[in-house]
């Protein structure tokens, strides 16, 4: 019923694009039909599992066969390529490392758009360049499908517990259909505006996160050099105006908190390479919009240097360790 209402609202609003109302109704009325999922990495694997927990049969694909093993054992159907997935599912979520992977998965020789069904809803949760999201939306629209960007905040822990925040860009009349799936994987699903605006929100958040993490790491390091106990310093920061997510939830200093990457030699979490990529996206968009981002630029350089010095696959909070090494400790 909701789907029919949505379809008729789409018509009433003279929904000019993508998909006609009848196609939209057919797709979303088939509520618990199979959902495609492409990219079963650190984030995608638990996200796909949460869709299954909510009763959606999942049809998945990943270039790396090992990453499909767990989902196959749980009953997901694993196919060879994104095109094969598009053949069977008319709602597909993608969770890939970066813009070139997304371009390949959508428009490559075995890409989704080679065999996408008319009326399909394609949701990309990767963090990529908003310009690429817009290009994918145009390409999908030509084939009668809808593309939305829905990058996430929250990391592997939130992905596992289904508590991600999704920032969604795309046609507003499609938001409810996207939300139906995204709420199985996230606690917050926020509509940001036209396609690309989800990415814009994500890029801004991560630039601030990177700056905050470096600031926390250098502050903690200075405090330690001044003779303060790191746990005590963190406690004081967290009851004072210096408090931030990096100080109170994801502290970069080993021994200050349990259950964070700094307590586990910076394994797991959010890789330095991915943070460097996101800061690169922030730089591109800042250049295109002539926006000064001096601290964002510096953070980008620091994370790129870390990638070149062996920190690429460590969690981004390892900037603390990097600063200590820089001073010869």
Site for ligand NAD, rule CB under 6 A: 38-44, 61-64, 67, 95-98, 101, 104-105, 126-127, 152, 155-156, 270, 274
Active-site residue, 118 included: no
- Looking at the Cβ atoms of 23 and 272, the one nearer to ligand NAD is 272
Distance, in Å, from the CA atom of 82 to the CA atom of 59, rounded to the nearest integer, reads 10
Closest Cα to residue 147, out of 78, 196, 188, 110?
196
CB of 204 to ligand NAD, least distance (A): 14
CB of 191 to ligand NAD, least distance (A): 19
- Looking at the Cβ atoms of 237 and 302, the one nearer to ligand NAD is 302
Of 118, 142, 202, 277, catalytic: 202
Closest Cα to residue 164, out of 133, 189, 143, 181?
189
Angle at CA of residue 232, ends 231 and 238, nearest 5° = 90
- Looking at the Cβ atoms of 24 and 319, the one nearer to ligand NAD is 319
CB of 264 to ligand NAD, least distance (A): 14
CB of 40 to ligand NAD, least distance (A): 5
Quick one: the chain helix, strand, coil %, rounded to 5? Answer: 55, 10, 35
Residue number of the CB closest to ligand NAD reads: 41
- Looking at the Cβ atoms of 67 and 219, the one nearer to ligand NAD is 67
- Looking at the Cβ atoms of 273 and 321, the one nearer to ligand NAD is 273
Distance, in Å, from the CA atom of 216 to the CA atom of 51, rounded to the nearest integer, reads 36
- Who's near 49: CB < 8 A, 6+ residues apart? 70, 71, 74
> What are the phi and psi torsion angles at 134 (to 5°)?
-65, -40
Quote the radius of gyration of the chain (alpha carbons, Å). 21
CB of 273 to ligand NAD, least distance (A): 9
DSSP letter string over 213-233?
HHHHHHHHHHHHHTT--HHHH
* Residues catalogued as catalytic: 202
């Amino acid at each position: 019923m909701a789907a029919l209402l949505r379809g008729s609202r789409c018509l009433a609003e003279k929904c000019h694009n993508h998909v006609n109302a009848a196609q939209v109704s057919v797709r979303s009325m088939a509520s618990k039909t199979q959902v495609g999922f492409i990219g079963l990495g650190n984030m995608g694997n638990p996200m796909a599992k949460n869709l299954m927990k909510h009763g959606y049969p999942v049809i998945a694909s990943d270039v790396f066969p090992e990453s499909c093993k767990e989902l196959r054992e749980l009953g997901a159907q694993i196919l060879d390529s994104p095109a094969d997935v598009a053949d069977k599912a008319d709602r597909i979520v993608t969770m890939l490392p970066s813009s070139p992977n997304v371009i390949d998965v959508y428009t490559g020789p075995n890409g989704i758009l080679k065999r996408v069904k008319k009326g399909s809803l394609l949701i990309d949760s990767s963090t990529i360049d908003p310009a690429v999201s817009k290009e994918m939306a145009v390409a999908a629209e030509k084939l009668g499908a809808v593309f939305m960007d829905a990058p996430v905040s929250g990391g592997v822990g939130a992905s596992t517990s289904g508590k991600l925040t999704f920032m969604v860009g795309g046609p507003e009349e499609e938001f409810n259909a996207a939300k139906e799936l995204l709420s199985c994987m996230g606690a917050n699903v926020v509509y940001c505006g036209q396609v690309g605006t989800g990415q814009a929100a994500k890029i801004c958040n991560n630039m601030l996160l990177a700056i905050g993490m470096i600031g926390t790491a250098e502050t903690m390091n200075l405090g330690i050099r001044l003779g303060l106990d790191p746990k005590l310093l963190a406690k004081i920061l967290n009851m004072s105006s210096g408090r931030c997510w990096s100080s109170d939830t994801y502290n970069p200093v080993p021994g200050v908190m349990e259950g964070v990457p700094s307590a586990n030699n910076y394994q797991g979490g959010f890789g330095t390479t991915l943070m460097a990529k996101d800061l690169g996206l922030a730089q591109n968009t800042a250049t295109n919009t002539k926006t000064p981002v001096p601290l964002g630029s510096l953070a980008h350089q620091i994370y790129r240097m870390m990638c070149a010095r062996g920190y690429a696959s460590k969690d981004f909070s390892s900037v603390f360790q990097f600063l200590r090494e820089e001073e010869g400790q």
